Amino acid sequence: MDRLVNTVRPYAWGSTTAIPELLGIAPSGEPQAEMWMGAHPGAPSRTERGSLNELIDADPVRELGQRSVDKFGPRLPFLLKVLAAGAPLSLQVHPDLAQARAGHAAEEAAGVPVDAPHRTYKDANHKPELICALTPFDGLCGFRAPAEAADLIAALGVDSLKPYVDLLHAHPEEAALREVLTALLTADPDEMAHTVAEATAAADRLGGAHAPYASLAHHYPSDPGVIAAMLLNRVRLQPGEALYLGAGVPHAYLDGLGVEIMANSDNVLRCGLTPKHIDVPELLRVVRFEPVDPTVLRPEASPAGEEVYDTPIDEFRLSRFVRAEGAAPTDLTSSTPQILLSVAGRPTAGQVALAPGDSVFVPAGERVELSGTGTVFRATVVA
């Protein structure tokens, strides 16, 4: 078992206080957005034996187990994070596996450097993800019914938005959503800046259901993503609740602290609320233009006390243990690799005491018992 030393990414949208409070350290005053746990080459966790990706590269079967290697290849299939949103993240989607492979191959063939600002596909993998709230968590997920979006936008009373309202009343709904998003992202920037300014003033005045979009506009003035965000469902999670995000589903996290797990990928296609590159043609190819009713996931408890968040993919499996004082130890020995993350109390994994924010990597087949009091998230795979 290896105690992990993890990198905290200082993205501008990060909270300055949430991750330091979890770790019990003084804030630095700088944004601290994501703490990465895993073997992603961008910021691999470190151990006393070396970086986690180096350990896995040296002996993948020993670290990951034969079943995981056979199914996913010689790399850790997931990336675990603590995510702390102090400001809205970009409005974005992720590709499915076929799209990621094709897009990555095309950019490789074209000689686009992997670190180029206009590069879309950093790797050839998909990026389904799950966010589980540690605090009340606010986000946007999936298209709402176009008629509902039309009503929300129409209430602003902005003349330049009326054509979008009319389009949203058209049928079929999928075509209406596609046409509106396309029009927003290809509109004249100066005209759109004026429209967003008018919409912001109206949203400030109206408040209520419009308040989140006014807040977005103050973070991203002139950005067409402010209007695009009104096409999406607003979702508010309570601690312990989670949201699964599959390929092609537009989403944005707005505020809150959570545990996030995803397939080991960095492929993001942005569609607003960002100064970064937006590849409109590729985005429109990847987005799934269908209204959805986001499903809030609550964990399913097992007799052993493990609470599992059920998802339809195998690259990751997230669960948690909420251990009361005096609870019997739980055997977590598994034939697949695991990362254990403590978020409350001071439980013990094997002989390693875990304060909030501490994590360990457990190689496949290594015996480990969880004991003590507190809350621990367990990340592994289905193999």
Q: Which residues are catalytic?
A: 270
Cα–Cα distance for residue pair 313/311, rounded to 1 Å: 6
CA distance 24 to 35: 14
How far apart are the C-alpha atoms of 103 and 119, rounded to whole Å? 10
Query: Under 8 Å CB-to-CB from 4, ≥6 apart: which residues?
Result: 37, 45, 46, 47, 52, 339, 359, 360, 361
- Cβ distance 361 to 338 under 8 Å? yes
> Among 348, 352, 345, 342, which Cα is nearest to 374's?
345
Q: Is the peptide bond before 172 cis (omega within 30 degrees of 0)?
A: yes
Instruction: Report d(CA 324, CA 26) in Å as an integer.
Output: 28
Q: Which two tokens stand for residue 99?
A: 């799209």
Question: Cβ neighbours of residue 71 under 8 Å, at least 6 residues apart?
Answer: 314, 381, 383
Contact 277, 118 (CB under 8 A): yes
Amino acid at 96: D
Q: How big is the chain by its Cα radius of gyration, in Å?
A: 22
Q: Do 16 and 86 form a contact (C-beta atoms < 8 A)?
A: yes
Residues β-bridged to residue 319: 308, 378
Which positions ≥6 away from 324 have C-beta within 8 Å?
373
Taking the C-alpha atoms of residue 166 and residue 56, their distance in angstroms, rounded to an integer, is 55
Q: Rounded to whole angstroms, how far apart are CA atoms 107 and 101?
A: 10
Structure tokens given for 184: 């927003």
Take residue 330 and report the two structure tokens written for it. Answer: 């739980």
Is residue 121 within 8 A of residue 103, CB to CB? The reply is: yes
Distance CA 44, CA 50 (A): 10
